[in-house]
Chains A and B, each alone.
Chain A
């Protein structure tokens, strides 16, 4: 019945209707041996899997992950929890909530106000066992409030209202009452998370806390998913009118989704604020929203495992690897080669494309050098063996900016053309596209990792939606054209 682990091979379950069972069988299995392994893996129940994943998460720091990796782990868990919360609203209830990040910000600001010297002469310093529940209850109320328009507005209109809510939150914290809410300077000097006589001061502590919270939240979500409410959400998502005629209170169910999503986000917000010991309006702006959506969409909308996996993949790439020029080079070239390996068959064509790309590179480099020495005077952005390998292959002029910019524009055009043309031309165009991608990477993209990360997020959203709308682990939804 759940979207996550479908024991579909066993046939219809007791109590599950035929439609649900058929949905289960429509899952795409990988072909061949991989498919068998996949089916075996799916035999494992949800709870054992969660236990294993939780244990792995808990022992990771003791394997020698220090400072930076721990921070990446914390950020990953934060985004993972947010993606899980967003999944309730978007994945299960099928309501597009574009203001979700505001609930995260609300939780963080709520915690900040309740545990700092910001308000009053001495400030409020509530312990966590008081402040966190207060913030969560308030967030639930806020979620209901934001969800209220869903009574009258359907689909796209609601998306706009929530988007405005998200924007309004940033505007509000930026401009309204800077004395109380800190304005653009945010609120700093928060208390660390302390409650029940324990105070968490180290990053390792926050990591463990987040692992525990993640396991608890996933358990609760799993129970919700398989409950009456979970089924009601999916019924409303598939067809509100049919759900209403089956006596499901559509509006109340949607409001519940909003409230649950808001509570999860606010809970994460409190921990995030305590870990950062500061909050700023820009921490809760659109880029974070895009990050959450990218994680959810990549993993698969509507699936707990999908949201978690998506967050893991997106954050390890986005936060862990793309900060470093060498690592980001590995990721960039690795993704290209991986895509080619998966998509380009038969092997002869793959080999031909690779050989042609390499040859094109050396030829272009030689020609450019013959024309002007300064055209190849620059060094590629990649360092290490990658940089050495690419030195005589990729054209990097003494001032790479202009080439990088034009190359980027041409590359985007080339990629669009690549998707549109048919077979023989696609292979032919692939060669210059690959080389150009490498040139642009070495001249422009790798030089500005902060922007490149964001571009990649946008690209992930577009490409995942176009190529595999169900994401990595999601279930393909059967669509009835209206």
Chain B
């Protein structure tokens, strides 16, 4: 039973990470109806930023600043830079195609993803960069409940993920910007007629979504300890899966989907085999989509003429 709970804890932590990536993905889909294939690569960029912040401040064993400050710098810098990158991508690659056939921005998104991935390969090389998290946050700090151990990094990631999700929920439901986002998501033209600055709203959505991916990237670096230019693609796919399982465009759906995927993956890896975990996650997605194409919490869309 201890194994079960340990896997559950691991699954929830990974799930929080997927949920963060899925949230950004789902938000972008909500306002633009665009599958942003480059989203996973933004997560990868975030992970690299975290790695270089650690290196700039003396490396994992000889940090020149206290650990909490380092973490704050890592998260803020990753969120800011990746958010900015997301806005730049939107401006450069997606905005010119806003009225193009649906297929055009999708192909562009694939191009952006490929471009980012290989740019990272050019700049940072093919080798795995190691965070060495245990050197500055010891594994022994954390909680033990019976034989289940939850280390400090996991707790921090869970709390941060939870805070961001609650914050996002409040942002979307309570603020003026959130209202504008929802309006743009429902009907872009009508929103524009009502005086909403659609371009700004979309850019803001991209910033927030990308920033979440950047934060998730740093979390992944801390949790899994390694970064590589190819890590984004698979996580991107899983985030798609998560947001689709939860219902694309729905924020609680993305959270639920992320957690489900994380837990499912953790149990598949723990009880069956790590070799098949990706395959089974994809199979899960296809089953969900065939049974309930709009996802668990999504609304069934009526086809308009």
Contacts and interface: CB of A to CB of B under 8 A. Distances in A.
Interface of A: 90, 94, 96, 98, 149, 152-157, 159-161, 163-164, 167-168, 171-172, 175-176, 241, 286-287, 290, 293-294, 297, 301, 405, 408-409, 412-413, 416, 419-420, 444-445, 448, 451-452, 454-455, 457-462, 465-466, 469, 477, 479, 481-482
B279 A168 contact: yes
Interface stretch (B54-62, B98-106, B143-151, B255-263): B98-106
Contact of B110 (A98, A412, A459, A477): A98
Given A419-B92, A420-B91, A167 B237 contact: yes
A167 B37 CA distance: 14
B231 to A, nearest CB: 14
Contact of A175 (B91, B102, B103, B279): B279
Contacts of A452: 122
A479 B121 contact: no
Interface string B88-101: 10011100110111
Contact of A160 (B35, B113, B114, B290): B35
Given A152-B289, A462-B108, 10 more contacts: A157-B293, A164-B237, A241-B305, A290-B114, A405-B122, A405-B123, A460-B111, A462-B115, A465-B111, A482-B304
24 contacts: A96-B107, A149-B290, A152-B290, A156-B106, A159-B106, A161-B286, A163-B240, A164-B241, A164-B282, A167-B237, A171-B278, A171-B279, A171-B282, A286-B233, A405-B122, A451-B122, A458-B113, A461-B110, A465-B104, A465-B111, A466-B97, A477-B101, A479-B100, A481-B189
B259 to A, nearest CB: 20
Contacts of B103: 90, 94, 96, 301
A96 B115 contact: no
Contacts of B97: 465-466, 469
B305 A164 contact: no
Nearest to B103: A96
A173 to B, nearest CB: 11
A286 B114 CA distance: 9
Interface string B33-72: 1010000000000000000000000000000000000000
Nearest to A419: B92
Contact of A416 (B92, B99, B122): B92
Contacts of A455: 115, 118-119, 122
Interface of B: 29, 33, 35, 88, 91-93, 96-97, 99-108, 110-119, 121-123, 189, 233, 237, 240-241, 244, 248, 275-276, 278-279, 282-283, 285-286, 289-290, 293, 303-305
A407 B249 CA distance: 38
Contacts of B99: 479, 481
Contacts of B240: 160, 163
Nearest to A155: B102
Contact of B244 (A160, A290, A405, A445): A160
A159 B303 CA distance: 18
A153 B121 contact: no
A293 B112 CA distance: 13
A149 B285 CA distance: 12
Closest 8 CB pairs of A and B: A461-B111, A458-B115, A458-B114, A454-B118, A462-B111, A164-B282, A465-B108, A175-B275
A445 to B, nearest CB: 7
Given A149-B289, A448-B122, A451-B122, A157 B110 contact: no
B123 A290 contact: no
Contacts of A176: 276, 279
Contact of A462 (B93, B241, B278): B93
A279 to B, nearest CB: 19
Contacts of B241: 164
A469 B110 contact: no
A293 B106 contact: no
Pick the most buried of A149, A156, A462: most chain B CB atoms within 10 A of its CB.
A462
A17 to B, nearest CB: 21
Given A156-B35, A286-B233, A461 B107 contact: yes
